Structure 1
Amino acid sequence: MSDQYVLETRNLVKEFKGFVAVNDVDLQIQQGHIHALIGPNGAGKTTVFNLLTKFLIPTRGQILFNGEDITSTKSAQIARKGVVRSFQISAVFPHMTALENIRVALQGFEGTSYSFWKSGASLNRLNERSMELLESVGLAEYANTTTVELAYGRKRALELATTLAMEPKLMLLDEPTQGMGAEDVDRVVELVRKAAKGRTVLMVEHNLSVVSKLCDRITVLAQGAVLTEGDYESVSADPRVREVYMGTGASGERGAVAEAEASQ
Protein backbone atom coordinates (compact mmCIF):
# COMPACT_ATOMS: atom_id res chain seq x y z
CA MET A 1 0.00 0.00 0.00
CA SER A 2 1.20 3.50 -0.80
CA ASP A 3 1.72 5.75 2.24
CA GLN A 4 -0.55 8.32 0.62
CA TYR A 5 -3.66 6.15 1.10
CA VAL A 6 -5.62 6.80 4.27
CA LEU A 7 -8.08 4.01 3.51
CA GLU A 8 -7.73 1.00 1.26
CA THR A 9 -9.94 -2.01 0.58
CA ARG A 10 -8.71 -5.14 -1.12
CA ASN A 11 -11.10 -7.54 -2.82
CA LEU A 12 -13.90 -6.53 -0.45
CA VAL A 13 -16.92 -8.87 -0.67
CA LYS A 14 -20.24 -9.00 1.20
CA GLU A 15 -22.69 -11.79 0.56
CA PHE A 16 -26.16 -12.24 2.07
CA LYS A 17 -27.29 -15.86 1.75
CA GLY A 18 -26.03 -16.12 -1.80
CA PHE A 19 -26.78 -12.54 -2.85
CA VAL A 20 -23.57 -10.60 -3.56
CA ALA A 21 -24.13 -7.01 -2.41
CA VAL A 22 -20.47 -5.95 -2.65
CA ASN A 23 -18.35 -7.76 -5.19
CA ASP A 24 -14.53 -7.59 -5.10
CA VAL A 25 -14.34 -3.83 -4.41
CA ASP A 26 -10.90 -2.18 -4.33
CA LEU A 27 -10.81 1.39 -3.01
CA GLN A 28 -7.82 3.67 -2.48
CA ILE A 29 -8.66 6.89 -0.65
CA GLN A 30 -5.84 9.39 -0.86
CA GLN A 31 -4.74 11.62 2.01
CA GLY A 32 -6.46 15.03 1.90
CA HIS A 33 -8.90 14.12 -0.87
CA ILE A 34 -12.67 14.39 -0.97
CA HIS A 35 -13.57 11.08 -2.60
CA ALA A 36 -17.13 10.28 -3.74
CA LEU A 37 -18.78 6.88 -3.97
CA ILE A 38 -21.63 7.13 -6.46
CA GLY A 39 -23.95 4.84 -8.36
CA PRO A 40 -27.64 4.07 -8.89
CA ASN A 41 -29.89 2.87 -6.09
CA GLY A 42 -28.88 -0.60 -5.00
CA ALA A 43 -25.32 -0.30 -6.30
CA GLY A 44 -23.87 -1.22 -2.89
CA LYS A 45 -22.70 2.21 -1.67
CA THR A 46 -24.27 2.12 1.79
CA THR A 47 -23.28 -1.53 2.21
CA VAL A 48 -19.66 -0.50 1.56
CA PHE A 49 -20.02 2.22 4.23
CA ASN A 50 -21.45 -0.35 6.63
CA LEU A 51 -18.47 -2.61 5.98
CA LEU A 52 -15.96 0.20 6.49
CA THR A 53 -17.47 1.14 9.86
CA LYS A 54 -18.11 -2.49 10.87
CA PHE A 55 -21.88 -2.30 11.05
CA LEU A 56 -21.46 -5.29 8.76
CA ILE A 57 -18.67 -7.88 8.67
CA PRO A 58 -17.04 -8.57 5.29
CA THR A 59 -17.48 -12.02 3.82
CA ARG A 60 -14.00 -11.74 2.32
CA GLY A 61 -11.33 -9.13 1.72
CA GLN A 62 -9.35 -6.58 3.71
CA ILE A 63 -9.85 -3.04 5.01
CA LEU A 64 -6.77 -0.99 5.86
CA PHE A 65 -6.62 2.38 7.62
CA ASN A 66 -3.28 4.18 7.46
CA GLY A 67 -1.71 0.86 6.56
CA GLU A 68 -3.20 -1.02 9.51
CA ASP A 69 -5.49 -3.97 8.84
CA ILE A 70 -8.79 -3.09 10.58
CA THR A 71 -10.89 -5.82 8.95
CA SER A 72 -11.60 -7.45 12.32
CA THR A 73 -11.68 -4.26 14.39
CA LYS A 74 -14.94 -3.35 16.14
CA SER A 75 -16.85 -0.21 15.17
CA ALA A 76 -16.16 1.67 18.43
CA GLN A 77 -12.42 1.04 18.08
CA ILE A 78 -12.50 2.26 14.48
CA ALA A 79 -14.15 5.50 15.59
CA ARG A 80 -11.44 5.99 18.22
CA LYS A 81 -8.81 5.60 15.49
CA GLY A 82 -10.42 8.57 13.69
CA VAL A 83 -12.88 7.02 11.22
CA VAL A 84 -16.12 8.90 11.93
CA ARG A 85 -19.38 8.54 10.04
CA SER A 86 -22.49 10.65 9.59
CA PHE A 87 -25.75 9.13 8.39
CA GLN A 88 -28.42 9.82 5.76
CA ILE A 89 -30.90 10.62 8.53
CA SER A 90 -29.88 13.33 10.97
CA ALA A 91 -28.52 11.64 14.10
CA VAL A 92 -28.73 14.48 16.62
CA PHE A 93 -30.84 14.53 19.79
CA PRO A 94 -34.03 16.42 18.86
CA HIS A 95 -34.97 17.64 22.32
CA MET A 96 -31.55 18.95 23.29
CA THR A 97 -30.22 22.34 22.28
CA ALA A 98 -27.57 22.64 19.59
CA LEU A 99 -24.99 23.41 22.29
CA GLU A 100 -25.99 20.36 24.33
CA ASN A 101 -25.68 18.12 21.29
CA ILE A 102 -22.11 19.26 20.68
CA ARG A 103 -21.26 18.90 24.35
CA VAL A 104 -22.50 15.30 24.37
CA ALA A 105 -20.35 14.55 21.31
CA LEU A 106 -17.32 16.04 23.05
CA GLN A 107 -18.05 13.94 26.14
CA GLY A 108 -18.06 10.82 24.01
CA PHE A 109 -14.77 11.77 22.39
CA GLU A 110 -13.13 12.46 25.75
CA GLY A 111 -14.42 9.20 27.21
CA THR A 112 -16.59 10.90 29.84
CA SER A 113 -19.94 9.70 28.53
CA TYR A 114 -20.81 8.18 31.87
CA SER A 115 -21.00 11.66 33.41
CA PHE A 116 -24.65 12.14 32.45
CA TRP A 117 -25.67 11.97 36.11
CA LYS A 118 -23.49 14.97 36.98
CA SER A 119 -24.86 18.50 36.99
CA GLY A 120 -24.80 20.50 33.80
CA ALA A 121 -22.42 22.96 35.47
CA SER A 122 -19.72 20.26 35.62
CA LEU A 123 -19.70 20.22 31.81
CA ASN A 124 -19.37 23.96 31.31
CA ARG A 125 -15.67 23.53 30.55
CA LEU A 126 -16.80 22.03 27.23
CA ASN A 127 -18.84 25.08 26.28
CA GLU A 128 -15.98 27.04 24.72
CA ARG A 129 -15.04 24.24 22.32
CA SER A 130 -18.75 23.58 21.62
CA MET A 131 -19.27 27.20 20.63
CA GLU A 132 -16.20 27.07 18.37
CA LEU A 133 -17.69 24.07 16.56
CA LEU A 134 -21.09 25.74 16.23
CA GLU A 135 -19.39 28.84 14.85
CA SER A 136 -17.53 26.71 12.30
CA VAL A 137 -20.83 25.53 10.79
CA GLY A 138 -22.65 28.84 11.09
CA LEU A 139 -24.85 27.88 14.04
CA ALA A 140 -23.49 30.02 16.88
CA GLU A 141 -26.69 32.07 17.04
CA TYR A 142 -28.71 28.85 17.44
CA ALA A 143 -26.67 27.49 20.37
CA ASN A 144 -29.63 27.55 22.76
CA THR A 145 -32.25 26.51 20.20
CA THR A 146 -33.82 23.09 20.69
CA THR A 147 -32.72 20.93 17.77
CA VAL A 148 -36.27 19.95 16.80
CA GLU A 149 -36.91 23.63 16.07
CA LEU A 150 -34.03 23.91 13.58
CA ALA A 151 -34.65 23.82 9.85
CA TYR A 152 -33.55 20.61 8.15
CA GLY A 153 -30.43 22.10 6.60
CA ARG A 154 -29.33 23.46 9.98
CA LYS A 155 -29.87 20.05 11.58
CA ARG A 156 -27.51 18.55 9.04
CA ALA A 157 -25.01 21.32 9.77
CA LEU A 158 -25.30 20.46 13.48
CA GLU A 159 -24.67 16.82 12.68
CA LEU A 160 -21.53 17.82 10.80
CA ALA A 161 -20.39 19.77 13.88
CA THR A 162 -20.94 16.72 16.10
CA THR A 163 -18.87 14.70 13.63
CA LEU A 164 -16.08 17.30 13.81
CA ALA A 165 -16.21 17.09 17.61
CA MET A 166 -14.78 13.58 17.27
CA GLU A 167 -11.69 15.08 15.54
CA PRO A 168 -11.92 12.67 12.60
CA LYS A 169 -8.97 11.78 10.41
CA LEU A 170 -11.38 10.26 7.89
CA MET A 171 -14.96 11.52 7.61
CA LEU A 172 -17.55 9.23 6.03
CA LEU A 173 -20.52 11.34 4.91
CA ASP A 174 -23.64 9.43 3.86
CA GLU A 175 -25.81 11.58 1.56
CA PRO A 176 -25.03 14.91 3.29
CA THR A 177 -27.41 16.89 1.03
CA GLN A 178 -30.28 14.42 0.81
CA GLY A 179 -33.73 16.05 0.97
CA MET A 180 -32.42 19.62 0.80
CA GLY A 181 -33.49 22.55 -1.31
CA ALA A 182 -30.96 24.35 -3.51
CA GLU A 183 -30.12 27.00 -0.91
CA ASP A 184 -29.35 24.43 1.80
CA VAL A 185 -27.39 22.28 -0.66
CA ASP A 186 -25.09 25.19 -1.53
CA ARG A 187 -24.60 25.94 2.16
CA VAL A 188 -23.72 22.34 3.05
CA VAL A 189 -21.32 22.10 0.09
CA GLU A 190 -19.39 25.04 1.53
CA LEU A 191 -19.49 23.53 5.03
CA VAL A 192 -18.13 20.20 3.79
CA ARG A 193 -15.39 21.98 1.84
CA LYS A 194 -14.44 23.92 4.96
CA ALA A 195 -14.59 20.84 7.21
CA ALA A 196 -12.44 18.86 4.79
CA LYS A 197 -9.42 21.14 5.19
CA GLY A 198 -6.69 19.05 6.77
CA ARG A 199 -8.87 15.93 6.63
CA THR A 200 -9.85 13.17 4.23
CA VAL A 201 -13.50 12.67 3.24
CA LEU A 202 -15.29 9.72 1.68
CA MET A 203 -18.87 10.55 0.78
CA VAL A 204 -21.89 8.84 -0.73
CA GLU A 205 -23.84 11.42 -2.71
CA HIS A 206 -26.57 11.18 -5.35
CA ASN A 207 -26.44 14.85 -6.35
CA LEU A 208 -23.87 14.91 -9.16
CA SER A 209 -23.73 18.70 -9.08
CA VAL A 210 -22.47 18.43 -5.49
CA VAL A 211 -19.95 15.79 -6.53
CA SER A 212 -18.66 17.96 -9.38
CA LYS A 213 -18.11 20.91 -7.04
CA LEU A 214 -16.49 19.04 -4.16
CA CYS A 215 -14.75 15.85 -5.14
CA ASP A 216 -11.18 15.19 -6.20
CA ARG A 217 -11.89 11.60 -7.20
CA ILE A 218 -14.99 9.50 -7.84
CA THR A 219 -15.61 5.76 -7.71
CA VAL A 220 -18.73 4.52 -9.51
CA LEU A 221 -20.39 1.34 -8.24
CA ALA A 222 -22.88 -0.75 -10.20
CA GLN A 223 -24.37 -4.04 -9.00
CA GLY A 224 -21.95 -4.11 -6.09
CA ALA A 225 -18.77 -3.79 -8.19
CA VAL A 226 -16.52 -0.90 -9.25
CA LEU A 227 -17.58 0.24 -12.71
CA THR A 228 -15.02 3.00 -13.17
CA GLU A 229 -13.00 5.57 -11.24
CA GLY A 230 -11.47 8.96 -11.99
CA ASP A 231 -12.06 12.69 -11.77
CA TYR A 232 -15.50 14.15 -12.49
CA GLU A 233 -14.75 14.97 -16.12
CA SER A 234 -13.66 11.47 -17.04
CA VAL A 235 -16.37 9.72 -15.03
CA SER A 236 -19.20 11.91 -16.31
CA ALA A 237 -18.07 11.33 -19.91
CA ASP A 238 -18.07 7.54 -19.55
CA PRO A 239 -21.05 6.08 -21.46
CA ARG A 240 -21.27 3.18 -19.00
CA VAL A 241 -21.95 5.64 -16.18
CA ARG A 242 -24.79 7.28 -18.12
CA GLU A 243 -26.19 3.83 -18.87
CA VAL A 244 -26.33 2.65 -15.26
CA TYR A 245 -27.86 5.93 -14.09
CA MET A 246 -30.54 5.92 -16.78
CA GLY A 247 -31.05 2.14 -16.95
CA THR A 248 -33.84 0.14 -15.37
CA GLY A 249 -33.90 -2.41 -12.60
CA ALA A 250 -32.21 -0.34 -9.89
CA SER A 251 -35.24 -0.34 -7.58
CA GLY A 252 -35.42 -4.10 -7.65
CA GLU A 253 -31.76 -4.42 -6.75
CA ARG A 254 -32.19 -1.90 -3.93
CA GLY A 255 -35.03 -4.00 -2.52
CA ALA A 256 -32.93 -7.14 -2.68
CA VAL A 257 -30.11 -5.48 -0.73
CA ALA A 258 -32.49 -4.11 1.90
CA GLU A 259 -34.15 -7.49 2.34
CA ALA A 260 -30.81 -9.27 2.56
CA GLU A 261 -29.39 -6.84 5.13
CA ALA A 262 -32.56 -7.02 7.23
CA SER A 263 -32.16 -10.80 7.46
CA GLN A 264 -28.72 -10.53 9.05
Structure 2
Amino acid sequence: MTQAFILETRGLTKEFRGFTAVDDVNLQVREGHIHALIGPNGAGKTTVFNLLTKFLPPTRGEILYRGKPITGMKANEIARLGLVRSFQISAVFGHMTALENVRVALQRTLGTSFHFWKSERSLDHLNERALELLDEVGLADYADVLTVEMPYGRKRALEVATTLALDPTLMLLDEPTQGMGAEDVDRIVELIRRVSKGRTVLMVEHNLSVVSRLCDRITVLARGAVLAEGDYQEVSRNPQVREAYMGSEAAEEEASA
Protein backbone atom coordinates (compact mmCIF):
# COMPACT_ATOMS: atom_id res chain seq x y z
CA MET A 1 0.00 0.00 0.00
CA THR A 2 1.46 3.36 -1.00
CA GLN A 3 1.72 6.15 1.52
CA ALA A 4 -0.77 8.99 1.16
CA PHE A 5 1.16 12.23 0.83
CA ILE A 6 -1.00 15.30 1.15
CA LEU A 7 1.80 17.70 0.18
CA GLU A 8 4.91 17.12 -1.93
CA THR A 9 7.65 19.21 -3.45
CA ARG A 10 9.86 18.03 -6.27
CA GLY A 11 13.13 19.79 -6.92
CA LEU A 12 11.85 22.96 -5.22
CA THR A 13 14.44 25.71 -5.72
CA LYS A 14 14.53 29.45 -5.01
CA GLU A 15 17.37 31.69 -6.12
CA PHE A 16 17.85 35.35 -5.28
CA ARG A 17 20.31 37.06 -7.63
CA GLY A 18 22.60 34.08 -7.76
CA PHE A 19 22.14 33.07 -4.10
CA THR A 20 20.33 29.74 -3.69
CA ALA A 21 18.07 30.00 -0.64
CA VAL A 22 16.22 26.72 -1.29
CA ASP A 23 18.15 24.06 -3.15
CA ASP A 24 16.37 21.12 -4.82
CA VAL A 25 14.11 20.31 -1.85
CA ASN A 26 12.01 17.15 -2.12
CA LEU A 27 9.50 17.19 0.72
CA GLN A 28 6.79 14.62 1.40
CA VAL A 29 4.21 15.30 4.09
CA ARG A 30 2.04 12.34 4.95
CA GLU A 31 -1.65 12.95 5.57
CA GLY A 32 -2.55 12.99 9.27
CA HIS A 33 1.04 13.59 10.42
CA ILE A 34 2.60 16.44 12.33
CA HIS A 35 5.70 17.15 10.24
CA ALA A 36 8.43 19.57 11.34
CA LEU A 37 10.81 21.57 9.19
CA ILE A 38 13.86 22.40 11.29
CA GLY A 39 17.37 23.70 10.80
CA PRO A 40 19.83 26.34 12.00
CA ASN A 41 19.33 30.03 11.27
CA GLY A 42 19.51 30.75 7.55
CA ALA A 43 18.69 27.15 6.58
CA GLY A 44 15.82 28.22 4.30
CA LYS A 45 12.88 27.07 6.44
CA THR A 46 10.77 30.22 6.15
CA THR A 47 11.60 30.56 2.44
CA VAL A 48 10.22 27.04 1.91
CA PHE A 49 7.05 28.09 3.75
CA ASN A 50 6.80 31.21 1.59
CA LEU A 51 7.09 29.05 -1.53
CA LEU A 52 4.46 26.60 -0.31
CA THR A 53 1.99 29.36 0.55
CA LYS A 54 2.61 31.42 -2.61
CA PHE A 55 4.24 34.44 -1.02
CA LEU A 56 7.20 33.69 -3.30
CA PRO A 57 7.33 32.02 -6.71
CA PRO A 58 9.84 29.17 -7.09
CA THR A 59 12.74 29.49 -9.50
CA ARG A 60 12.34 25.82 -10.35
CA GLY A 61 10.47 22.80 -9.11
CA GLU A 62 6.96 21.63 -8.46
CA ILE A 63 4.49 21.68 -5.55
CA LEU A 64 1.72 19.08 -5.38
CA TYR A 65 -1.31 18.88 -3.11
CA ARG A 66 -3.04 15.50 -2.99
CA GLY A 67 -1.06 14.56 -6.09
CA LYS A 68 -2.18 17.57 -8.16
CA PRO A 69 0.18 20.41 -9.12
CA ILE A 70 -0.51 23.73 -7.39
CA THR A 71 2.76 25.46 -8.28
CA GLY A 72 1.08 28.17 -10.34
CA MET A 73 -1.86 28.80 -8.03
CA LYS A 74 -2.35 31.98 -5.97
CA ALA A 75 -2.37 32.21 -2.17
CA ASN A 76 -6.16 32.63 -1.91
CA GLU A 77 -6.69 29.67 -4.23
CA ILE A 78 -4.62 27.26 -2.15
CA ALA A 79 -6.32 28.54 1.01
CA ARG A 80 -9.64 27.49 -0.50
CA LEU A 81 -8.15 24.02 -1.04
CA GLY A 82 -7.49 23.81 2.72
CA LEU A 83 -3.84 24.91 3.02
CA VAL A 84 -3.88 27.60 5.70
CA ARG A 85 -0.86 29.29 7.25
CA SER A 86 -0.36 31.01 10.57
CA PHE A 87 2.51 33.41 10.87
CA GLN A 88 5.68 33.71 12.93
CA ILE A 89 4.48 37.04 14.34
CA SER A 90 0.97 37.07 15.78
CA ALA A 91 -1.41 38.27 13.05
CA VAL A 92 -4.56 39.24 14.91
CA PHE A 93 -6.32 42.59 15.26
CA GLY A 94 -5.38 44.18 18.57
CA HIS A 95 -8.31 46.61 18.65
CA MET A 96 -10.86 43.79 18.35
CA THR A 97 -11.99 41.29 20.94
CA ALA A 98 -11.04 37.63 20.63
CA LEU A 99 -14.59 36.84 19.51
CA GLU A 100 -14.49 39.55 16.84
CA ASN A 101 -11.16 38.28 15.51
CA VAL A 102 -12.52 34.77 15.03
CA ARG A 103 -15.71 36.14 13.53
CA VAL A 104 -13.71 38.07 10.91
CA ALA A 105 -11.95 34.83 9.96
CA LEU A 106 -15.30 33.04 9.70
CA GLN A 107 -16.55 35.77 7.35
CA ARG A 108 -13.87 34.84 4.86
CA THR A 109 -15.35 31.38 4.47
CA LEU A 110 -18.74 32.97 3.66
CA GLY A 111 -17.38 35.36 1.04
CA THR A 112 -18.58 38.38 3.05
CA SER A 113 -15.17 39.80 3.99
CA PHE A 114 -15.79 43.16 2.40
CA HIS A 115 -19.43 43.77 3.30
CA PHE A 116 -18.54 46.52 5.75
CA TRP A 117 -21.74 48.41 5.08
CA LYS A 118 -23.83 45.72 6.71
CA SER A 119 -24.98 46.05 10.30
CA GLU A 120 -22.79 44.28 12.85
CA ARG A 121 -25.91 42.36 13.88
CA SER A 122 -25.82 40.60 10.52
CA LEU A 123 -22.77 38.73 11.83
CA ASP A 124 -24.42 37.51 15.03
CA HIS A 125 -25.15 34.14 13.43
CA LEU A 126 -21.38 33.52 13.44
CA ASN A 127 -21.07 33.97 17.19
CA GLU A 128 -21.94 30.38 18.11
CA ARG A 129 -19.23 28.91 15.87
CA ALA A 130 -16.73 31.58 16.99
CA LEU A 131 -17.36 30.71 20.62
CA GLU A 132 -16.90 27.00 19.83
CA LEU A 133 -13.52 27.74 18.25
CA LEU A 134 -12.44 29.88 21.20
CA ASP A 135 -13.40 27.06 23.54
CA GLU A 136 -11.44 24.59 21.39
CA VAL A 137 -8.23 26.60 21.91
CA GLY A 138 -8.87 27.30 25.60
CA LEU A 139 -9.97 30.92 25.21
CA ALA A 140 -13.64 30.75 26.16
CA ASP A 141 -13.03 33.18 29.03
CA TYR A 142 -11.33 35.68 26.69
CA ALA A 143 -14.19 36.13 24.22
CA ASP A 144 -14.85 39.76 25.16
CA VAL A 145 -11.24 40.73 25.91
CA LEU A 146 -9.46 43.10 23.52
CA THR A 147 -6.62 41.22 21.86
CA VAL A 148 -4.10 43.92 22.74
CA GLU A 149 -4.78 43.18 26.43
CA MET A 150 -4.19 39.42 26.11
CA PRO A 151 -0.90 37.72 27.14
CA TYR A 152 1.37 36.77 24.25
CA GLY A 153 0.76 33.03 24.52
CA ARG A 154 -3.00 33.57 24.45
CA LYS A 155 -2.65 35.72 21.33
CA ARG A 156 -0.90 32.82 19.60
CA ALA A 157 -3.74 30.52 20.69
CA LEU A 158 -6.18 33.04 19.22
CA GLU A 159 -4.26 32.91 15.97
CA VAL A 160 -4.73 29.15 15.92
CA ALA A 161 -8.48 29.74 16.41
CA THR A 162 -8.58 32.13 13.45
CA THR A 163 -6.68 29.55 11.40
CA LEU A 164 -9.19 26.85 12.38
CA ALA A 165 -12.02 29.18 11.35
CA LEU A 166 -10.87 28.69 7.74
CA ASP A 167 -11.45 24.95 8.12
CA PRO A 168 -7.94 23.84 7.15
CA THR A 169 -7.05 20.37 5.98
CA LEU A 170 -3.34 21.20 6.20
CA MET A 171 -2.19 23.75 8.79
CA LEU A 172 1.17 25.41 8.23
CA LEU A 173 2.49 26.82 11.51
CA ASP A 174 5.49 29.16 11.41
CA GLU A 175 7.44 29.11 14.71
CA PRO A 176 4.31 28.63 16.87
CA THR A 177 6.25 28.79 20.19
CA GLN A 178 8.69 31.59 19.37
CA GLY A 179 9.25 34.01 22.23
CA MET A 180 7.26 32.01 24.78
CA GLY A 181 8.04 31.00 28.32
CA ALA A 182 7.89 27.36 29.37
CA GLU A 183 4.28 27.50 30.59
CA ASP A 184 3.01 28.98 27.32
CA VAL A 185 5.10 26.52 25.31
CA ASP A 186 3.48 23.60 27.13
CA ARG A 187 0.03 25.08 26.50
CA ILE A 188 0.68 25.55 22.77
CA VAL A 189 2.13 22.03 22.44
CA GLU A 190 -1.06 20.57 23.90
CA LEU A 191 -3.15 22.86 21.72
CA ILE A 192 -1.38 21.75 18.52
CA ARG A 193 -1.73 18.11 19.55
CA ARG A 194 -5.45 18.62 20.13
CA VAL A 195 -6.29 20.56 16.96
CA SER A 196 -4.18 18.26 14.76
CA LYS A 197 -6.66 15.41 15.18
CA GLY A 198 -8.19 14.84 11.76
CA ARG A 199 -5.78 17.30 10.16
CA THR A 200 -2.23 17.46 8.88
CA VAL A 201 0.27 19.93 10.35
CA LEU A 202 3.50 21.18 8.80
CA MET A 203 5.43 23.39 11.18
CA VAL A 204 8.65 25.36 11.23
CA GLU A 205 9.97 25.16 14.79
CA HIS A 206 13.26 26.05 16.48
CA ASN A 207 12.49 24.43 19.82
CA LEU A 208 13.72 20.83 19.57
CA SER A 209 11.92 19.85 22.77
CA VAL A 210 8.65 20.83 21.10
CA VAL A 211 9.58 18.87 17.97
CA SER A 212 10.46 15.77 19.99
CA ARG A 213 7.13 15.86 21.82
CA LEU A 214 4.88 16.53 18.84
CA CYS A 215 6.22 15.43 15.51
CA ASP A 216 5.82 12.18 13.59
CA ARG A 217 8.45 13.12 11.03
CA ILE A 218 11.17 15.76 10.74
CA THR A 219 12.94 17.26 7.76
CA VAL A 220 16.23 19.01 8.57
CA LEU A 221 17.40 21.80 6.27
CA ALA A 222 20.90 23.25 6.09
CA ARG A 223 21.99 25.91 3.59
CA GLY A 224 18.73 25.51 1.73
CA ALA A 225 19.01 21.75 1.13
CA VAL A 226 17.63 18.69 2.91
CA LEU A 227 20.28 17.42 5.30
CA ALA A 228 18.35 14.58 6.96
CA GLU A 229 14.86 13.20 7.42
CA GLY A 230 13.20 10.77 9.79
CA ASP A 231 11.65 10.62 13.22
CA TYR A 232 13.19 12.52 16.13
CA GLN A 233 15.38 9.64 17.28
CA GLU A 234 16.85 9.23 13.80
CA VAL A 235 17.65 12.87 13.15
CA SER A 236 18.89 13.59 16.68
CA ARG A 237 21.51 10.84 16.32
CA ASN A 238 22.66 12.06 12.91
CA PRO A 239 26.20 13.53 13.26
CA GLN A 240 25.59 15.93 10.36
CA VAL A 241 22.54 17.32 12.12
CA ARG A 242 24.45 17.77 15.39
CA GLU A 243 27.25 19.51 13.54
CA ALA A 244 24.81 21.84 11.75
CA TYR A 245 23.25 22.87 15.06
CA MET A 246 26.26 22.87 17.38
CA GLY A 247 29.39 23.05 15.23
CA SER A 248 31.79 20.19 14.49
CA GLU A 249 33.80 20.36 17.75
CA ALA A 250 30.73 20.37 19.99
CA ALA A 251 29.16 17.52 18.01
CA GLU A 252 32.33 15.43 18.30
CA GLU A 253 32.49 16.05 22.06
CA GLU A 254 28.85 15.02 22.51
CA ALA A 255 29.29 11.91 20.37
CA SER A 256 32.31 10.80 22.40
CA ALA A 257 30.73 11.58 25.79
Q: Could you state the TM-score of these two structures normalised by the residue count of structure 2?
A: 0.95
Offset from partner CA, 1:173-212 (integer Å, 9 cap, x none): 0000000000000000000000100000000000000000
Q: Which moved more, 1:111-120 or 1:99-108?
A: 111-120
Cα distance in 2 for residues equivalent to 1:110 and 1:73: 21
Matched with 1:256 is none
> Is 1:103 matched up with 2:103?
yes
AA at the equivalent of 2:234: S
Offset from partner CA, 1:73-117 (integer Å, 9 cap, x none): 011101111000001100000000000000000001221112222
Could you tell me whether the CA contact under 8 Å between 1:84 and 1:170 is conserved in 2?
yes
Could you tell me whether the CA contact under 8 Å between 1:9 and 1:26 is conserved in 2?
yes
Matched with 1:233 is 233
Could you tell me whether the CA contact under 8 Å between 1:14 and 1:23 is conserved in 2?
yes
AA at the equivalent of 1:145: V
Cα distance in 2 for residues equivalent to 1:107 and 1:25: 36
AA at the equivalent of 2:6: V
Cα distance in 2 for residues equivalent to 1:117 and 1:154: 31
Could you tell me whether the CA contact under 8 Å between 1:3 and 1:66 is conserved in 2?
no
Cα distance in 2 for residues equivalent to 1:118 and 1:142: 26
Matched with 1:183 is 183
Cα shift at 1:143: 0.2
Offset from partner CA, 1:13-37 (integer Å, 9 cap, x none): 0000100000000000001000000
AA at the equivalent of 2:187: R
Cα distance in 2 for residues equivalent to 1:55 and 1:40: 22
AA at the equivalent of 2:4: Q
1:233 counterpart SS class: helix
Matched with 1:120 is 120
2:235 counterpart SS class: helix
Matched with 1:193 is 193
AA at the equivalent of 1:20: T
Counterparts of residues 239-254 of structure 1 (less than 5 Å):
239-247=239-247
Matched with 1:71 is 71
AA at the equivalent of 1:245: Y
Matched with 1:8 is 8
AA at the equivalent of 2:107: Q
Could you tell me whether the CA contact under 8 Å between 1:3 and 1:67 is conserved in 2?
no
Matched with 2:160 is 160
Matched with 2:220 is 220
| Aligned length in residues | 247
Matched with 1:251 is none
Cα distance in 2 for residues equivalent to 1:215 and 1:230: 10
Cα distance in 1 for residues equivalent to 2:180 and 2:65: 32
AA at the equivalent of 1:44: G
1:213 counterpart SS class: helix
Matched with 1:41 is 41
Identical aligned pairs, as a percentage? 73
The CA RMSD over aligned residues, in Å, is 0.9
Cα distance in 2 for residues equivalent to 1:133 and 1:89: 21
Cα distance in 2 for residues equivalent to 1:73 and 1:3: 25
Cα shift at 1:247: 2.8
Matched with 2:29 is 29
2:114 counterpart SS class: helix
Matched with 1:86 is 86
1:156 counterpart SS class: helix
Could you tell me whether the CA contact under 8 Å between 1:70 and 1:78 is conserved in 2?
yes
